[in-house]
A and B are shown apart, each in its own frame.
Chain A
Amino acid sequence: MLRPRNRELLALVPAGLLVTGGFAAIFIQSSKRLSDLSLTYGLAFLGLCVITHLAIRFVLPDADPYLFPLAAVLASFGLVIVYRISPTLARQQAQWYVLGLVLFAGTILFLRRHGLVVLERYRYTIATVGIAMLVLPRLPGIGEQVNGAYLNIKLGSIKFQPAELAKLAIVIFLASYLRDTRQILAGGGRRILGVEVPPMRITGPMLLIWGAAMGMLLLTRELGTSLMFFGVFVALLYVALGRVRFPVIGLLVIWWAGAYFISQHVGHVHERIQAWQHPFDPVLYNKVGGSYQLAQSLFAQADGGLLGTGFNESLLQLPNGHFILPVPESDFIYSVITNELGLAGATGLLLCYLLFVARGLKTAVLAPNSFAKLLAVGLSFIVALQVFVIVGGVTRVIPLTGVTMPFVAYGGSSVVMNFVLLGLLLAVSDRARREMASG
Chain B
Amino acid sequence: MNKAILRLFALVVLLFALLVGFTSRWTVFEAGSLRSNPLNRRQLLEQQRIPRGQILAADGTVLARSVPAGGGVFRRTYPSGGLFAHAVGYSYITIGNASLERSRNDELTGQRTSVNTILDQLRGRKRQGDDVLTTLDPKAQQVAISQLAGRKGAVVALDPRNGAVKVFASVPRYDPRTLARPGVFQTLSQDSARSPLLDRVTQSGYPPGSAFKVVTAIAAIDSGRFTPSSTVNGDNGVKISGVPLNNDFNQSFGPVDLTTALTKSINTVWAQVAVSLGKATMARYMERLGFDSQLPLDLPSAELRPSGEFKGRRLLSPTSSLVDVGRMGIGQDKLDVTPLQMALAAAAVANRGRLMAPHLTDRVVDRDGRTVQRVAPRTMSQVMKPATANAVGQMMSQVVQEGTGTAAALSGVQVAGKTGTAEIVPGQNVNQVWFIAFAPLDHPRIAIAATVERSDGQGGTVAAPIASAVIQSLLGGGG
A interface with B by C-beta (< 8 Å): 28-29, 32, 235, 238-243, 280, 282, 285, 295, 298-307, 310, 313, 315, 318-319, 321, 324, 338, 342-343, 346-347, 350, 353-354, 357-358, 361, 364-365, 370, 373, 377, 381, 384, 387-388, 391-392, 395-397
**B302: Cβ under 8 A from any A Cβ:** no
Residues of A within 8 A of B19 (CB): 350, 387-388, 391-392, 395, 397
- Indicate if the CB atoms of B12 and A318 lie closer than 8 Å: no
**B45: Cβ under 8 A from any A Cβ:** yes
Interface of B is mostly: helix
- Indicate if the CB atoms of B3 and A315 lie closer than 8 Å: no
Listed residue (A319, A365, A396) with the most chain B CB atoms within 10 angstroms of its CB:
A319
Residues of A within 8 A of B2 (CB): 365
- Indicate if the CB atoms of B39 and A235 lie closer than 8 Å: no
- Indicate if the CB atoms of A240 and B1 lie closer than 8 Å: yes
Given contacts A338-B23, A347-B20, contact A239 B5 (CB under 8 A): yes
- Indicate if the CB atoms of A396 and B22 lie closer than 8 Å: yes
**B243: Cβ under 8 A from any A Cβ:** no
Nearest-CB residue, chain B, relative to A240: B1
- Indicate if the CB atoms of A319 and B22 lie closer than 8 Å: no
Bound-state Cα–Cα, A436 to B362, Å:
77
- Indicate if the CB atoms of B1 and A242 lie closer than 8 Å: yes
Bound-state Cα–Cα, A324 to B46, Å:
12
The 8 Å CB contact of A304, one of B8, B16, B27, B49, is B27
Bound-state Cα–Cα, A307 to B118, Å:
9
Bound-state Cα–Cα, A241 to B8, Å:
13
Given contacts A303-B42, A315-B49, contact A381 B23 (CB under 8 A): no
- Indicate if the CB atoms of A310 and B121 lie closer than 8 Å: yes
- Among listed B29-37, B56-64, B206-214, B273-281, interface-contacting one: B29-37
The 8 Å CB contact of B4, one of A239, A295, A298, A342, is A239
- Indicate if the CB atoms of B45 and A381 lie closer than 8 Å: no
Nearest-CB residue, chain B, relative to A307: B118
Distance between B114 CB and nearest chain A CB, rounded to angstroms: 8
Distance between B63 CB and nearest chain A CB, rounded to angstroms: 26
Given contacts A239-B8, A324-B42, list 13 more A-B pairs with CB under 8 A.
A295-B37, A300-B42, A303-B42, A304-B27, A305-B27, A307-B118, A310-B121, A313-B121, A343-B28, A350-B16, A357-B12, A384-B16, A392-B18
- Indicate if the CB atoms of A295 and B39 lie closer than 8 Å: yes
- Indicate if the CB atoms of A238 and B4 lie closer than 8 Å: yes
**B71: Cβ under 8 A from any A Cβ:** yes
Distance between A414 CB and nearest chain B CB, rounded to angstroms: 19
Bound-state Cα–Cα, A74 to B3, Å:
29
- Indicate if the CB atoms of B73 and A319 lie closer than 8 Å: yes
Residues of A within 8 A of B71 (CB): 319, 321
List 9 contacting pairs A-B, 8 Å CB cutoff, sorted by A.
A240-B1, A299-B39, A300-B42, A302-B27, A302-B34, A307-B118, A315-B42, A384-B12, A392-B18
9 nearest CB pairs, A to B: A302-B34, A395-B22, A302-B31, A301-B26, A343-B27, A239-B4, A384-B12, A299-B40, A310-B121
Size class of the B contact interface (CB-based, 8 Å): 35 or more
- Indicate if the CB atoms of A299 and B34 lie closer than 8 Å: yes
**B229: Cβ under 8 A from any A Cβ:** no
- Indicate if the CB atoms of A347 and B45 lie closer than 8 Å: no
- Indicate if the CB atoms of B39 and A285 lie closer than 8 Å: yes
Given contacts A300-B42, A318-B45, contact A361 B118 (CB under 8 A): no
Given contacts A302-B27, A384-B15, contact A242 B22 (CB under 8 A): no
Distance between B11 CB and nearest chain A CB, rounded to angstroms: 8
Residues of A within 8 A of B31 (CB): 301-303, 305
Bound-state Cα–Cα, A226 to B118, Å:
42
Residues of B within 8 A of A299 (CB): 34-35, 37, 39-40, 42
Residues of B within 8 A of A315 (CB): 42, 45-46, 49
Given contacts A302-B35, A315-B49, A319-B73, contact A354 B13 (CB under 8 A): yes
Residues of B within 8 A of A370 (CB): 1
Residues of B within 8 A of A342 (CB): 27
Distance between B158 CB and nearest chain A CB, rounded to angstroms: 40
Distance between B205 CB and nearest chain A CB, rounded to angstroms: 37
Given contacts A301-B27, A302-B31, A354-B12, contact A280 B37 (CB under 8 A): yes
Listed residue (B18, B25, B34, B39) with the most chain A CB atoms within 10 angstroms of its CB:
B39
Residues of B within 8 A of A306 (CB): 27-28
Given contacts A301-B23, A373-B5, A391-B19, contact A282 B49 (CB under 8 A): no
The 8 Å CB contact of A347, one of B23, B35, B46, is B23
Bound-state Cα–Cα, A321 to B72, Å:
11
Bound-state Cα–Cα, A243 to B31, Å:
42
**B24: Cβ under 8 A from any A Cβ:** yes
The 8 Å CB contact of A361, one of B5, B24, B35, is B5
Given contacts A29-B124, A302-B26, A302-B31, contact A319 B48 (CB under 8 A): yes
Bound-state Cα–Cα, A298 to B124, Å:
26
- Indicate if the CB atoms of A28 and B124 lie closer than 8 Å: yes
Residues of A within 8 A of B37 (CB): 280, 295, 299
- Indicate if the CB atoms of A361 and B9 lie closer than 8 Å: yes
- Indicate if the CB atoms of B42 and A373 lie closer than 8 Å: no
Residues of B within 8 A of A388 (CB): 15-16, 18-19
Bound-state Cα–Cα, A321 to B71, Å:
9
The 8 Å CB contact of B8, one of A300, A302, A310, A381, is A381
- Indicate if the CB atoms of B20 and A238 lie closer than 8 Å: no
Bound-state Cα–Cα, A395 to B21, Å:
10
- Indicate if the CB atoms of B27 and A353 lie closer than 8 Å: no
- Indicate if the CB atoms of B12 and A338 lie closer than 8 Å: no
Distance between A405 CB and nearest chain B CB, rounded to angstroms: 12
Bound-state Cα–Cα, A365 to B4, Å:
10
- Indicate if the CB atoms of B73 and A238 lie closer than 8 Å: no
- Indicate if the CB atoms of A361 and B8 lie closer than 8 Å: yes
Residues of A within 8 A of B24 (CB): 343
Residues of B within 8 A of A321 (CB): 71
The 8 Å CB contact of B16, one of A303, A354, A381, is A354
Bound-state Cα–Cα, A395 to B46, Å:
22
Distance between A344 CB and nearest chain B CB, rounded to angstroms: 9
Nearest-CB residue, chain B, relative to A325: B42
Listed residue (A235, A299, A300) with the most chain B CB atoms within 10 angstroms of its CB:
A299
- Indicate if the CB atoms of A302 and B30 lie closer than 8 Å: yes
- Indicate if the CB atoms of A280 and B5 lie closer than 8 Å: no
Bound-state Cα–Cα, A318 to B25, Å:
26
Distance between A173 CB and nearest chain B CB, rounded to angstroms: 19
Nearest-CB residue, chain B, relative to A310: B121
- Indicate if the CB atoms of B22 and A377 lie closer than 8 Å: no
